[in-house]
Amino acid sequence: MKGKKILVTGGAGFIGSHTVLALKNAGFRPIIVDNFSNSEKWILKELEELLEESVIYHEIDCCDKDSFRALFEKEKNIEGVIHFAAFKAVGESVQNPSKYYQNNIGSLSYLIDLMQEFKVPNLVFSSSCTVYGEVDSLPVTEEHPIKKASSPYGYTKQVCEQLIQDNLKANNLEQAIILRYFNPIGAHPSGLIGELPLGIPNNLVPFITQTAAGIRSQLSVFGNDYKTSDGTCVRDYIHVMDLAQAHVKSLELMMQKKKSYIFNVGTGEGTSVLEAIHAFEKANNLKLNYKIAEKREGDIEKIYAATSFAEDKLGWKAQYSIEDAMRDAWKWQEYLKNKS
């Protein structure tokens, strides 16, 4: 894999930046493509500190056809693309669906055209367990039915998956691996890069860390009468370092086997919201101020992954615990506090 060029769209984002590190450590040559609409440019400096070398990046919007095409012309011999670039806020997608359809589906469609034209053989696509909707049984396998999406964001992921499958059938793509993430959390163990929500966070862990840091006065736990062990929603929380490694393994698998796959990427264990809060408290020896609030519309009660297919075919398994993730997330939050 030494020196093989991999385009990483959204490579300055939360999962993208950690994947850039993992790619470099595996011998690949990552090239970041990002318009910095949902990330910060200073993350590149942190990446360079961790890598002890400069990073290659292009400030491009993947929906800007001329600029994206010029990049493919400039960067010869690209061996693969990891496509993270997408809008991802469920609530915003409900308020502004056109923005999500145009960006999430449009950028992938154009990317596939460019990959065909410039003969780029390997695509790893960033999908989500939201494609399953409210599931009938647990754990969720890759064969679970795809139900009606509960948001425009979820629907864009379903359409993007179908777009990839149709292009594989039409031989417009050589091979692709679709990764259905469960709930990415944590940060790099150095505390130099991590999740950087702009404005009000959409996810639990930034709310936890911001509450612990005093940025928010209180954490709301939405609902405590679900049919779960403690009444709170259950999710499969996966450390971002494990998730990053799954992308590297996906590229290696495609390059070796020349085949396409869909994989769930989770730990295989369900953790309730209260259990996640207590894991944070234990890992960092802190107490959190939280309250039980009304249920939120659209929240799925319980979901976690079946991981045996990924373990078998991808040769990948989550290594980090939820306490590891909570410790790293807090280290990152403290770094942000000191930085500001």
Q: DSSP assignment of 126-189, as one string?
A: EEEGGGG-S-SSSSBPTTS--PPPSSHHHHHHHHHHHHHHHHHHTTSSSEEEEEEE-EEE-B-T
| C-alpha Rg value of the chain to the nearest Å | 19
Handedness of CA 18, 194, 181, 78 (dihedral sign): negative
Which of 57, 153, 304, 320 does the annotation list as catalytic?
A: 153
Give the C-alpha separation, 40 to 2, whole Å. Answer: 29
Contact between 178 and 164 under an 8 Å Cβ cutoff? The reply is yes
Contact between 84 and 126 under an 8 Å Cβ cutoff? The reply is yes
The token pair at 284 is: 């960092």
Whether 153 is a known active-site residue: answer yes
Instruction: Tell me, rounded to whole angstroms, the distance of Cα 140 from its chain centroid.
Output: 18
Contact between 213 and 288 under an 8 Å Cβ cutoff? The reply is no
Name the residues annotated as catalytic. Answer: 153
